Structures are given as C-alpha cells and as structure tokens.
Amino acid sequence: MKFLKMLGKLKRLKILQFLAFSSSVLLLLSACSQQKQTKSAFAPKIVKSKPSESNSKTKSTPTKGKAIDSSINPKRTATVIAVYAAKKYGSDWQKTLTEEKENGIAVAVKNSEYFPHVPSSFGVVYQIGDHEVLYTLKQVGQDNVVYLYTNNGMKELGQATFRTMSQYLKENGWDYLISKYVRKTKIFDLRISPKLMSQKMQGDVGAFIMPLAMRGNWYSYFNKHMNTTTIGLNYTIDNGEKYELHRIDDRFFEHKTYGEMSKDYQIRTENWKMTGELSRKIHGIRWINFRAWMQGAGDGIYFGLHSEMGQPVLVAASGASIATDQIYWKTPQLALQNKNKEFSDLYYLR
C-alpha cells in the first residue's frame, strides 16, 4: 500500500516537472520571437561615413579643441592642473592659487585669439584667477597634454600629461589638496561664437585708432616684474591679454548699464575697452583714457606719450587727478636701468 502511494507521488512530481519545463520553453520561444520583432522594427541603420581629416591623421597628431577626458569631472581637472602648476612652478601660479582658494578657483574658458602668446591652433584657453595664469590642452595620441602659461612675461612654463600631474601630486603627498579645493572650483564659459562675433553690438560706434607714435611694444619694470604693454592699430595687449579698443555712443551710455545687457552682450564685450582721447592736455600730456566697456564708476587708466632723458616714454596714470603710476620704455634694458625713477616734469600722487 505504501509502495502504491509512493508511486503515485512520483508520477505527480514528474508531471509537474514536465509542465514547468514546457512553460519555460514556451516563455523562451515567446521572448525570442518578441526580440526578433523588436530588432527588425527598431534596429538602427548602419551608416558608413567617410573618414574625417582628424581621423585620417596619425595618432601622434594633436587634436584641436579636444576635451581632456569626458569621464573626468571638469572641475577636478582644473583643480589638479592649478595645484600641480602652483607646486611645480610657484610664482604667479602659487600666488593665484593662494588668492583663489578662499572663494574657489575660478576658471574662465575663452577664445585663444585674445592671448597672442598662445598658438592659435589651440582654439581655447583656460584662464585662472585675475588675468595672471592660464593653460591650454591638446590630445596627443592617447595622452592629454596640458600646456601651462603665465601672462607676466607672456611665456610657456612647461607641459605635462594629466596623468603625470596626478602622479606628481600623489608622490609628493599633495593629492589631498584636490578634494580640499575642488568643491569650490567654478568654470565660466566665455567663448564667443563666430555668429556673435560678427554681430554689431549696441552702443559701439567703431574702433578707436591709436596714434602711430604710440604703437609698438613698451616695457616697465615695476614690483619686481618686467611688465609689457603692446599697442596696435585698434587694440592693446596688457601682460599677455588682448583687448579691442572701441568708441561708445554717449547717448547709449547715458541710458544703459552693463548689468542690463544680455549675457551674450557681456561675453562679446568682455575683452573690449571703452576708449577716448581727452580734449586738452593735463600735466603737459595729451592722454587717452581706457575703461572696461560700459564701466560706470572709476576713472580707468590713462596712457600718454612723453619723453625723458631723450627717450620716448609711455606714461601710465590713473585716478581723478591722473597721477603717474608707471613709465614704459621702448626696450627692457631701458626699463631696468630706470626702474623706480621719478621725474620732475611728471605729476605723482604724494
């Protein structure tokens, strides 16, 4: 009797197993059928494209405008670069990091055309802090190479891959600074699109043309730095950064403020200087005034052509009284020889 009961249980178990197996097979067949239908209905077409110019180049060729690595947080990237440069080169980079660490490292992304000492092939420049230091980057093969610059002296300090920078900080025990600074790092995209570049901006009545005698390179040794100013037809280059010189419509300026203007307007005019010549001589010099575009408060800076010791000089002045700040000479040698000198025919703020 027990044997018959066991036999009955075994039969029922086999039947259940068979039913379970059958159900699994049916589900699998159904899923395969659905998957096949889905692929036939929604599978994307494969489009063969011609190789672009950048793809046809060898791996060692730099690629313009290539981001460092899409998997790396841009803020972390900028922080690593800033800390590395400060520790590796000190000077302006260390000064910038010290000034920026309290409120966070501010990185402005700009068109490279505003930095004449940076090759135009880079396309993009990353400027940190108050117009002192910057970097650019290119992808060379499988490596991301960062080029480090200082505006003072307008020179390249060096270059390194991002991996080399990270390793350098880790080996020297400075990698903890990255997590310390990265939370406050801010990135501002101030690039100007070609479309925006070609637009005529409100209030602009044309370029200001600099006098021929003022054009060229000028040098002043001040605060232990050799400062360089270049004056062109309608632009200046101050410590490595290029500014366009424009005249403003007085009626527009009387009724508008910079804060009222659109973001695109502010970006487009970020490297403009509102320029004008004074109608009469002051302290015996005919001055040209430069201010930030639509700058309301403040007197800006003044440049005036003069001569000292038989040499042409460019006098830089500021303030409501137009007091002399620096004297620029035609060569670095003259600037060094005459550093800290004051001349009796110039007005200084006492």
Q: Which residues contact residue 210 at a Cβ distance below 8 angstroms, ignoring those fewer than 6 apart? A: 231, 232, 233, 234, 236, 245, 288
Q: Which residues contact residue 324 at a Cβ distance below 8 angstroms, ignoring those fewer than 6 apart? A: 315, 316, 317, 346, 347, 348, 349
Cα(17)–Cα(37) distance, rounded to whole angstroms?
30
Q: Please, which contacts does 341-350 make with residues 24 or more away whose CB atoms are closer than 8 Å? A: 343/308, 345/284, 345/308, 346/283, 346/306, 346/315, 347/283, 347/317, 347/321, 347/322, 347/323, 348/323, 348/324, 349/319, 349/321, 349/323, 349/324
Cα(350)–Cα(340) distance, rounded to whole angstroms?
15
Lowest-confidence pick of 81-90, 106-115, 192-201: 192-201
Q: Residue 276: is its pLDDT beyond 70?
A: yes
Task: Give the pLDDT confidence of 279-310 residue by residue, as tens digits.
Answer: 999 999 999 999 999 998 889 999 999 999 99
Task: Give the pLDDT confidence of 141-163 residue by residue, as tens digits.
Answer: 878 899 999 876 567 899 999 99
Q: Identify the pLDDT of residue 131.
A: 60
Backbone torsion region of residue 294, taken as left when φ is above 0, otherwise alpha when ψ lies between -120 and 50, otherwise beta: left
User: Would you give the distance in Å from CA 231 to the centre of its chain?
Assistant: 23
Q: Which residues contact residue 94 at a Cβ distance below 8 angstroms, ignoring those fewer than 6 apart? A: 86, 87
Q: Name the percent of the chain lying above pLDDT 70.
A: 78
Closest to 104 in 3D by CA, of 182, 18, 166: 182
Average pLDDT of the residues in 7-25: 41
pTM of the model: 0.70
Task: Give the pLDDT confidence of 164-198 residue by residue, as tens digits.
Answer: 999 999 999 998 999 989 999 999 999 998 888 88
